């Protein structure tokens, strides 16, 4: 039984997936019809359904695939033996997405935005995305802890809170780049550099359980 080889099978799936994002970016995830994807992929309707159960699986796989690529981009930076110092680190992380976008010819920022939106109403996608962000944030926490050990950051600071703040910067840059197109890594880095020089004259507003000390 000379079934198609696993390799060929994956090639077909890739061929179809390669057609998905151009469509999604052009018309939006839900406004894209299967016919759009089918035409773009160059295959027949039946063939697409031979490799994917239906539109839902296609959406899920498309998002999952891109999250995987993103992971591949960020992993080296996040898990370096010795973490970069804060500003180089920010620059490096912010650059990863920009580079990939340029390389693949797909606006990864827009892809990510659509993924987040999809996650709001699609449980499977939400699981994917939250798991990714959680891991991402955990890695950031580890980096912050290194910074603390290396005295870049005060030892008594809340590493997790800092990781959350850092993640916000990165996620927000994606939004800003997708919508305004002028939030390049260098600018973000410079902005954060400016912020880091900020003096903290008074304690922050006494929120509920805010103050620690």
Partner DNA sequence: GATGAATGAGTCTTCATTCAT
Partner DNA sequence: AATGAATGAAGACTCATTCAT
Determine, following the binding rule CB under 8 A, whether residue 196 of this chain makes contact with its own copies: yes
Token pair in block for residue 3:
């079934």
- Binding partner at 175 among DNA, its own copies, none, C-beta below 5 to 8 Å by kind: its own copies
Distance CA 126, CA 156 (A): 34
Asked if residue 48 lies in contact with residue 38, where contact means CB atoms within 8 angstroms, the answer is yes
Asked if residue 130 lies in contact with residue 85, where contact means CB atoms within 8 angstroms, the answer is no
Asked if residue 65 lies in contact with residue 104, where contact means CB atoms within 8 angstroms, the answer is no
Asked if residue 204 lies in contact with residue 210, where contact means CB atoms within 8 angstroms, the answer is yes
Q: Is 173 helix (H, G, I), strand (E, B) or coil?
A: helix
Nearest-approach distance from CB 192 to its own copies, in angstroms: 5
Helices (DSSP H) in 42-184: which residue ranges?
45-51, 55-78, 86-104, 108-119, 123-149, 159-179
Site for its own copies in 76-105 (CB under 8 A): 84-88, 90-92, 95
Distance CA 179, CA 98 (A): 14
Nearest-approach distance from CB 148 to DNA, in angstroms: 50
Nearest-approach distance from CB 108 to its own copies, in angstroms: 12
State which residue, 10 or 186, has the beta carbon closest to its own copies. Answer: 186
Q: Is 75 helix (H, G, I), strand (E, B) or coil?
A: helix
20: nearest Cα among 150, 118, 94: 118
- Binding partner at 34 among DNA, its own copies, none, C-beta below 5 to 8 Å by kind: DNA
Site for DNA in 30-59 (CB under 7 A): 31-35, 38, 43-47, 49-51, 54-56
State which residue, 52 or 132, has the beta carbon closest to DNA. Answer: 52
- Judged by CB under 8 A, the residue of 16, 17, 29, 62 near its own copies is 29
Nearest-approach distance from CB 180 to its own copies, in angstroms: 6
- Judged by CB under 8 A, the residue of 52, 78, 118, 139 near its own copies is 118
Distance CA 34, CA 54 (A): 9
Site for its own copies in 121-140 (CB under 8 A): 121-122, 126, 129-130, 133-134, 137
- Binding partner at 4 among DNA, its own copies, none, C-beta below 5 to 8 Å by kind: DNA
Binding site for DNA (CB under 7 A): 1-4, 12, 31-35, 38, 43-47, 49-51, 54-56
């Amino acid at each position: 039984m000379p079934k198609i080889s696993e390799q060929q099978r994956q090639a077909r799936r890739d061929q179809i997936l390669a057609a998905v994002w151009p469509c999604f970016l052009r018309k939006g995830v839900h406004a894209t019809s299967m016919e759009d994807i089918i035409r773009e992929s160059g295959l027949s309707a039946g063939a697409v359904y031979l490799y994917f159960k239906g539109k839902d699986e296609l959406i899920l796989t498309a998002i999952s695939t891109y999250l995987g690529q993103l992971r591949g981009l960020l992993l080296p930076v996040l898990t370096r033996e010795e973490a970069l110092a804060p500003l180089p680190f920010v620059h490096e992380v912010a650059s990863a997405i920009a580079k990939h976008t340029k390389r693949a010819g797909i606006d990864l920022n827009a892809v990510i935005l659509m993924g987040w939106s999809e996650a709001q109403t699609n449980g499977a996608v939400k699981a994917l995305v939250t798991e990714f962000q959680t891991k991402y944030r955990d890695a950031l926490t580890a980096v912050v802890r290194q910074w603390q050990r290396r005295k870049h950051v005060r030892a008594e600071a809340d590493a997790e809170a800092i990781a959350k703040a850092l993640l916000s910067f990165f996620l927000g840059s994606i939004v800003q780049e997708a919508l305004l197109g002028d939030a390049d890594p260098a600018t973000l880095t410079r902005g954060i550099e400016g912020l880091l020089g900020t003096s903290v004259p008074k304690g922050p507003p006494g929120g509920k359980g805010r103050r620690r000390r």
